[in-house]
Structure 1
């Protein structure tokens, strides 16, 4: 909308005067053209390596700028980055970070590399998507087929809820990865499982675990998931993938699968 564009233009004019500013990348609803009347403007402020190091040494990674200056309730929601941050994100950012760059627009730049980096962050190749399906299937198999069963058999209410949340998150993320969709954050999962293509019974089985976690509802969801995406993945394979992705993340310098 015009008032958000005016706010963005004013912010760009403000930061362009700073020699440490390398670029401004607008993200979120304003970048995608889906903003509401009262939406804020979300941006990544890309700065020099020196400015980034100085700011992050003080634990200053994000802030709000121009609060209430441009329209009622307006503000610029700023996240900080430098070019090395973006280069690293291309290789190993998690899904919420990658998703934040989907549809992003570079609105100010002093770098010939910036636009290419922004585009590449939200792009994964077929091999990466297949690997994510495999990892999330392994999560579903272990949380639903082992931990949830242990919880019910031993009457452990915390483990039951813990396993159910991890099972449904893993099932949703396997479905998203099969559709080459990034996971922008947990608050979107309930909607996204209804938007992506899935076989009959998947959403109902997923909802059943959310509403009433039990061995029966977990088994029903895993059966649908396996018939759809996991026919060639044995339980032994899932165990090894789960150990690799979770218990050995510290050794491999990676993050657990649920945080991909």
Structure 2
């Protein structure tokens, strides 16, 4: 909308002459064309690696800019990145970071090849998707097939809910990954899982697990998930993958699978 484009132009005018500023990337609803009249504008401010290091050393990664705004509810939601950040994101960013660049628009830049750098972030290699599916199935098996029955048997209410929500999360993420769909964040999961093809009964079983996690609802989801995506993943392989992706994430320099 016109007011958002004015806000973007005004923001660029305020930052383009700042030392180390290299580009402004518009993301979010304004970039995708789904904004409301009062939507804020989400941008990535690209600075050189030297400035990025100096800013982030002071824990300055994001902020809100409210200068020169001229419509109700308007502000610029700024996140700081650098060329090095973008290259690293293409190699190993999590889903929310990758998904945040979907539909991104370069509003101003002095960096050659910036569009190509963005394209590399939003494209996960096919073997990466296959590996994710296996990991999420393993997550679902251990949370739904081991921890959830253990919680029910012990009467451990916290563990029951914890295992249930993690089993549901893993099952839904397996469904998304099988359809090559990234997860922008947990608040989108319940709606997004309904948009991808899945076997008959999967969504109904998933809803029951979310509403009332117990041995029966966990087993129902796992039965469908295993028949669909768990073929060939042995119990020992699932256990080893679960340990690798969770308990040994610190050793591998990664984060647990639920945060991918």
The two structures have a TM-score, normalised by structure 1, of 0.98
Q: In structure 2, how many angstroms separate the alpha carbons of the residues matched to 1:200 and 1:35?
A: 34
Is the Cα contact below 8 Å between 1:68 and 1:74 reproduced in 2? no
TM superposition shift of 1:199: 1.2
Is the Cα contact below 8 Å between 2:106 and 2:115 reproduced in 1? yes
Is 1:38 paired with 2:30?
A: no
Is 1:230 paired with 2:230?
A: yes
TM superposition shift of 1:65: 0.6
The equivalent residue for 1:166 is 166
The equivalent residue for 1:84 is 84
Is 1:21 paired with 2:21?
A: yes
TM superposition shift of 1:70: 2.4
Is 1:125 paired with 2:125?
A: yes
Q: In structure 1, how many angstroms separate the alpha carbons of the residues matched to 2:101 and 2:81?
A: 12
What are the Cα deviations for residues 234-254 of structure 1, in whole angstroms up to 9, with x where unaligned?
A: 221110110111111111111
What is the CA RMSD across the aligned residues, in angstroms? Answer: 1.0
Q: In structure 2, how many angstroms separate the alpha carbons of the residues matched to 1:48 and 1:254?
A: 25
Uncovered stretches (5+) of structure 2, i.e. residues with no partner: none
The equivalent residue for 1:10 is 10
Is the Cα contact below 8 Å between 1:42 and 1:76 reproduced in 2? yes
Residues 62-101 of structure 1: pairs in structure 2 closer than 5 A = 62-66=62-66, 69-101=69-101
Q: In structure 1, how many angstroms separate the alpha carbons of the residues matched to 2:217 and 2:67?
A: 47
Residues 187-226 of structure 1: pairs in structure 2 closer than 5 A = 187-226=187-226
Secondary structure of 2:246 counterpart: helix
Is the Cα contact below 8 Å between 1:67 and 1:73 reproduced in 2? no
The two structures have a TM-score, normalised by structure 2, of 0.98
Q: In structure 1, how many angstroms separate the alpha carbons of the residues matched to 2:92 and 2:175?
A: 21
What are the Cα deviations for residues 2-56 of structure 1, in whole angstroms up to 9, with x where unaligned?
A: 1111111111122112231111111111111111111110000010112111111
Secondary structure of 2:181 counterpart: coil
Consecutive aligned runs of 4 or more in structure 1 exceeding 2 Å deviation: none
Secondary structure of 1:247 counterpart: coil
What are the Cα deviations for residues 161-181 of structure 1, in whole angstroms up to 9, with x where unaligned?
A: 100110010001000000100
Uncovered stretches (5+) of structure 1, i.e. residues with no partner: none
Secondary structure of 2:80 counterpart: strand
TM superposition shift of 1:67: 5.4
Q: In structure 2, how many angstroms separate the alpha carbons of the residues matched to 1:112 and 1:70?
A: 32
Q: In structure 2, how many angstroms separate the alpha carbons of the residues matched to 1:219 and 1:205?
A: 9
Q: In structure 2, how many angstroms separate the alpha carbons of the residues matched to 1:67 and 1:145?
A: 53
Is the Cα contact below 8 Å between 1:64 and 1:77 reproduced in 2? yes
Is the Cα contact below 8 Å between 2:21 and 2:46 reproduced in 1? yes
Is the Cα contact below 8 Å between 2:10 and 2:68 reproduced in 1? no
Is the Cα contact below 8 Å between 2:46 and 2:83 reproduced in 1? yes
